[in-house]
Amino acid sequence: MQNEELIKACRNGERAAQKRLYDAYAPQMMGVCYRYAQSLQEAEDMLQDAFIRVFSNLDQFRSEGEPGAWIRRIVVNCAINAIRKRKMQISAWDNQPEELHPITDTDPEIKLGAKELADMIQKLPDGYRIVFNLHAVEGYTHEEIGKVLGIKPASSRSQYLRARALLAKQVNLLQQKSK
């Protein structure tokens, strides 16, 4: 079944089509949720909320593009809403040590597997992880992140640079251990 036919069947309330749509996109979207969540359970909750919104708003999907991109946007928005519900204060995340340094173009090339990098990102403090994912992975500007999270763009930039610095520090430690 083509995407257009699948979406049409989902809009008509066909459960089998809804299951096919969910099965086609849930594994990939779970990865998106997990990047923002504090735990696997929270990621599962985010995913469930996102697909409820997907199925409730299918009439808003314009069949011009790939449903995955539209679904991903909903998933990211649900993740952000879940973060807001936790009433996290990004400004309070600025308490990391200042000895961290940003990554520069002169840093050595580092070869990491996707799982290793994902694990490192998951271990970042919440604020750093959220801003890093929104900027580096989702492509949001710092101005957009500021609007979405209710912070100043400068705070977003600061969180992003500190996240990069922490990741660089973790990578350097990993390199030293492997020598």
pLDDT digits (tens, 9 = 90+) for 31-87: 999 988 888 899 999 999 999 999 999 999 987 778 999 999 999 999 988 888 876
Q: What is the pLDDT of residue 88?
A: 54
Residue 12 has pLDDT above 80, yes or no: yes
pTM (2 d.p.): 0.71
Q: Which is more confident, 125 or 179?
A: 125
Give the domains, in start order, of the chain with CATH numbers.
3-85 (1.10.1740.10), 90-178 (1.10.10.10)
Please state the separation of Cα 117 from the chain's center in Å: 14
The rounded distance, in Å, linking the Cα atoms of 83 and 46 is 10
Residue burial 130-165, b: 16+ Cβ < 10 Å; e: rest: bbbbbbeebebebeebbebbebeeebbebbbbbbbb
